[in-house]
Structure 1
Amino acid sequence: MRPVLTAVALLLAGLACQGPNSDAHSRYPVDTTTIEPGQQLESAPGWYGDAVIYHIWVKAFADGVYQDGIGDLPGIQSKLDYLQSLGVNTLWLSPIFECAYKGDNMHGYDTTDYYAINDRFGTRADLRALIDAVHGRGMRILFDFVPNHTSTQHPWFTQGSTRNDWYVWKGAQPAGWGLPWGGGSSQDVWKPNGGAYFYTSFATDSLADLNFYNPAVQAEMRKVQAYWLDRGFDGMRVDAARYLCESGPGQQADQPDTHTRLQAFRSLLDEYSTGDLHPHPGGDAAKHSAKAMIAEAWTNDASGVTPYYGNGANEFHMCLDFSAPWAIANAITKGDATQVSSLWEFEQRTYPAGTRSATFDSNHDNLISRPGTQYGGAKAKIILAEALTLLSPGTPILYYGNEVGMTGQSGTDLNLRQPMDWAAVATQTSQPDSILSWCRYLIQARRAYPALRGGYTTLSTDLGPTKALAYLRNAGTERVLVVANLSAVSQTITVSGLTGQGVPAGGPVQAILGDLKGQDALSGDTYTATCLPAYGVRVLYVAGTGFQTTLHGDLP
């Protein structure tokens, strides 16, 4: 969740959970199914380094069960052919568990039951079918885990047995507090209820923070985690990871105790790779079922994310890279690659070995507009944004619809959560130069060449970072060169410093994506990309023995 949830907070504050009625009962029946521990996809540790993650906003993706205009779990299952053809191999679902608010901007971060499926999305049986279908294709699936807070309609909050100890309370509204990310006042985070005040990180009286100093809360959240991992999920994205523990005003984020709680989550995850915990039908099916977790540790300062990797083996495998969307946008809209290359260099230099930054160019929150809006519908710019995301040194996350250039203006969450444009998918599928086709080429390249999942080095160009970006990806003896034109006109770009990075002087160059224009070899230490189109990108194989084929030439 995002610091400053203005639109969502207003909706939550002004609207209660939709009450039962005969139509709702007939359309959304009570779920009487069960979901037993299920098949685990065999996975080696570190699989997330080879992942291409597709982020699904479930409500908006595909309506497959109730024909109510609301996306659901059977709808996702019906689109697995499409997702597999796109090339993604891991799905991340927005929150699917029972929640309080069921209106237009139903988001699911207001949990009322961590063990029940949101009735708008289907049943436990539907989830079981989806997980099995995803695993049957060798793909993985992640759930959105929301441990920091629940809805104030959760039974834990409304029942006396848990209300006082499972949440954070004060007898009177304390002074000197503010929002955990800065600004605000005590009135924002301490809300009156029943003669006392409860703490809420997100400044709404509809969400209450759980008390992670209570061992019972800690144990229950580990139980929730284990319950869904047992049922086949391959990992989880942890919402609001910075805010689990608050020890006083100004000490509401990034606390040492928060890291301790997160390390307990990681410890449980790691047990699945040993097969020692949670045996499954048919034997120790958990063996080799390595799980992964992604942090939403929202800060635009990459250094602020670093502690959430811990020592590289005891906290998160990946952290969402909230600096990347703006860095990529600055490269394309302002003609300045300095921010993105500096970011990637910092991450390579700083983050522990074996961890990954999770790169994206937009998501469901009010961070930035979708590329389709950010770049005014300009196809070449949108494709370049997707290229810099999918060819980044992190693990890329593709937000649903961005692969066809869907629009969405930041400022209101709902703008970024509109129904998937399946008509655009149908149209662009047959167009070899469409945004969708280029996303397929880029994903295919990333999955085919280990170098595009390996190390990263920024290279110098004769035009400098205001007009061009060049970088080298590497794995073993394989080297892949990426050259991007950041200007609105065709340019010839000379890249230098290649031989110092394991590329043979004067060696051959083969095009994975883009045209060679006769430049099929290095000139000593340099390579010249001739007549690279405006906002164009070329992906070139410059060392190794694994070249396969040219996927597509330059974008016309």
Structure 2
Amino acid sequence: MPNNHNTDVPHIVEKNDIHRIEPTNWWVGFKNPLLQLLVHHPNISEYVPNITYSGVSIEKFHKADSPNYLFIDLKISEDTQPGQFNIRFKNEGSEDLIQTYQLKDRKHSSEDFVGFNSTDVIYLITPDRFANGNPENDVVTGLNEDTINRHDDYARHGGDIQGIINHIDYIDDMGFTGIWSCPLLTNDMLESSYHGYAITDYYEIDPRYGSLKDYLHLSSELKKRGMKLIMDQVANHCGLEHWWMKDLPFKDWINHQGHYQENIENWQEGISKTTNHRRTTNQDMYASKADKENMNVGWFVSVMPDLNQKNPFMARYTIQNSIWWIETANLGGIRQDTYPYPDKYFMSVWAGEIMKEYPNFSIVGEEWSYNPLLIGYWQDGANNRDGYKSNLKSPMDFAMQRNIVNALNEEESWDEGLVKIYEGLANDFHYVTPKDIMIFPDNHDMSRIFTLLNGDIENTKMALGYILTVPRIPQIYYGTEILMNDFDKPGDHGLVRSDFPGGWEGDTVNAFTGEGLTEEQTEMQLYLKILLNYRKNSKAIHKGKTIHFAPENGIYVLFRIFEDEVLVNIINKNVDTVLLDLNRFNEIGLQGKTLKNIITNESLIWDDTLKLTKKGSLLLTTKF
């Protein structure tokens, strides 16, 4: 039931009669003039909404299956001015309900939202475990988990947004150019809510992390330093304690909804219809309908209801929520969790609408696959047999992560050891743009790289040196720089996400200042700092040509070349001294040139041979 807008702007009386309206505000000046409001209030379906504001019209409104919802389709014309207006809800025989709504002026043009790229290195943080900057928000009355216990790996420890803000200088000085924080939205779950992936309110910062003001402060402090804030979002599922689970708007708002409503006690006890995790069904031309359906509509785990993106109202809600956060927090990117699990055609629309509005933005999607064919499928521009267009710039390179670990752990042979990374990189022919793929040694869901490499420091340096020099966007998990590990229980999520030493008052070890670190930890921290800061200004790494030579005798050599800058990464697994014949690399044109060791600053002449006296990664550059 549309109403025509007019030029008369009535007097605004600020009122907030409605229980909940989302998005909580919007902006003028978007390329897409349409906005859909979710309104939740007792028996709101019995009311008719009306707006009188120049440039804003109600195109249509929709009742839901629950009487407590209305969905209002607005059109915001190109010449609409920012300001406030009242949405008046009328119901014959009842007093009008009035909700004041705000349209803001955009602070930045769409083109100004610049995402991450191969010039960046992203620092991944689990916020509850990084630093406690404001102990006053450790316990928030009224939330399900209202205690902290640093002795319990699955309890909350008190890390927060202010803790990240307090240590931005450390992160910047180390050489990182962006921060990806695990989700900071409210997770009002009964237990293990610290990780952030069971969201119970998509428009609220979890008060145990701080406030929206704190999040915006974090973003602005990063922008001052030319750094980017990447938001971890979850389109596939929410938390079982999400506010709408007590009053779902439609009968198909979540997948397996009928089963949930009939067996709510069983669901809460962990008896659920979970996904089969067969992600290949997204591409498999032989996959059964049953397997495909179970993959996409099964719940990720029993306490994370699977959202039904085929419901058009859920789809619009999710897209608008992402845009709201980009605009509100001036984001420098989105990391989308569990990318292959939702409806893949919805994910194409989701990414497409974001990139249409913000053409210079970046999105990275989590596809946990060790098969390059599957990774490449999700990258925008892929020539997929089924015609699928993802609109996703950056998938994640789990395949290369595994190759690196295997290559360094295995004994050398014709088809084992370093050949794994050589042939892994050779698979780049399959990718549309390899430099836009995100690579990493580990993350919050797997054992730390130092653990995976069996506590071998030189192997860890080789892994990191390789990750930071190949044509990719690197991500490093907090604590990697000080050899954090999970030796006691490899792969245990609570231990993988341990506290960063120095983030809490009274910590006897402080990695931010270096106090109490071992010699090995200090050396690793310095190694990464030197390499990261070199990488910041290396055009050879950012956009240079890549040439590598097949491993021989336990040595693998990679070159990155841009104009007169050549970077050389020599990965040597030999414990004893060996002579490397440099004539094999004559096509690079380094004969007689002086190169500098990036880590030690020592110089050498590229001659006929190079003596390698110990196992490790030798990083050389022609750039002085």
Please confirm whether the aligned pair reaches a TM-score higher than 0.5, indicating the same fold.
yes
Match of 2:547 in 1: 457
2:322 to 225, 240, 247: 225
Q: Structure 1's 127 and 519: CA in aligned 2 closer, same or farther, altered over 3 A?
A: closer
Distance between the aligned counterparts of 2:602 and 2:349, measured in 1? 52
Deviation at 1:519, TM superposition (A): 4.8
Alignment of 1:95-494 (within 5 A): 95-101=183-189, 103-104=191-192, 106-162=194-250, 164-169=251-256, 178-181=276-279, 199-202=297-300, 204-231=301-328, 232-245=330-343, 258-273=344-359, 290-311=360-381, 315-335=391-411, 336-347=417-428, 349-353=429-433, 356-366=436-446, 369-409=447-487, 410-422=490-502, 423=509, 425=511, 426-427=513-514, 434-454=523-543, 455-460=545-550, 463-464=552-553, 467-494=554-581
Match of 2:121 in 1: 52
Per-residue CA deviation, residues 46-88 of structure 1 (Å, 9 max, x unaligned), is: 7512111000111110101126441100110000110011000
State the SS of the aligned residue for 1:226: helix
Q: Is the 8 A contact 1:166 1:210 kept in 2?
A: yes
Distance between the aligned counterparts of 1:172 and 1:105, measured in 2? 24
Q: Structure 1's 125 and 267: CA in aligned 2 closer, same or farther, altered over 3 A?
A: same
Gaps of 5+ in 2: 1-101, 139-156, 261-271, 282-288, 383-388, 412-416, 503-508
Q: Is the 8 A contact 2:530 2:599 kept in 1?
A: no
State the SS of the aligned residue for 1:346: helix
- Structural RMSD (CA): 3.5
TM-score for the superposition, normalised by structure 2: 0.67
State the SS of the aligned residue for 1:209: coil
Number of residue pairs the alignment of both structures matches: 461
Q: Structure 1's 522 and 46: CA in aligned 2 closer, same or farther, altered over 3 A?
A: farther
Q: Is the 8 A contact 1:168 1:210 kept in 2?
A: yes
Q: Is the 8 A contact 1:493 1:532 kept in 2?
A: no
Match of 1:64 in 2: 133
Deviation at 1:244, TM superposition (A): 0.8
Gaps of 5+ in 1: 1-33, 192-197, 246-257, 274-289, 549-556
Q: Is the 8 A contact 2:165 2:221 kept in 1?
A: yes
Per-residue CA deviation, residues 117-158 of structure 1 (Å, 9 max, x unaligned), is: 112101111111111111111110001010011112223332
Deviation at 1:489, TM superposition (A): 3.3
State the SS of the aligned residue for 2:474: strand
Distance between the aligned counterparts of 1:402 and 1:540, measured in 2? 23
Match of 2:598 in 1: 513
Q: Rg: which structure is higher?
A: 2
TM-score for the superposition, normalised by structure 1: 0.75
Per-residue CA deviation, residues 317-343 of structure 1 (Å, 9 max, x unaligned), is: 211111222211122221411111211
- The amino acid that maps onto 2:479 is G
Deviation at 1:382, TM superposition (A): 2.2
Q: Structure 1's 379 and 372: CA in aligned 2 closer, same or farther, altered over 3 A?
A: same
State the SS of the aligned residue for 1:489: coil
Deviation at 1:430, TM superposition (A): 11
- The amino acid that maps onto 2:304 is L
Q: Structure 1's 340 and 103: CA in aligned 2 closer, same or farther, altered over 3 A?
A: same
Distance between the aligned counterparts of 1:320 and 1:72, measured in 2? 26
- The amino acid that maps onto 1:468 is I
Q: Is the 8 A contact 1:393 1:452 kept in 2?
A: yes
Q: Is the 8 A contact 1:511 1:538 kept in 2?
A: no
Distance between the aligned counterparts of 1:45 and 1:418, measured in 2? 32
Q: Structure 1's 113 and 406: CA in aligned 2 closer, same or farther, altered over 3 A?
A: same
Larger mean CA deviation between 373-382 and 149-158 belongs to: 373-382
State the SS of the aligned residue for 2:134: coil
Deviation at 1:217, TM superposition (A): 1.2
Larger mean CA deviation between 335-344 and 130-139 belongs to: 335-344
Deviation at 1:494, TM superposition (A): 2.8
Distance between the aligned counterparts of 1:472 and 1:148, measured in 2? 40
Q: Is the 8 A contact 2:319 2:353 kept in 1?
A: no
Per-residue CA deviation, residues 524-544 of structure 1 (Å, 9 max, x unaligned), is: xxxx3312422x2112225xx
Q: Structure 1's 61 and 170: CA in aligned 2 closer, same or farther, altered over 3 A?
A: closer
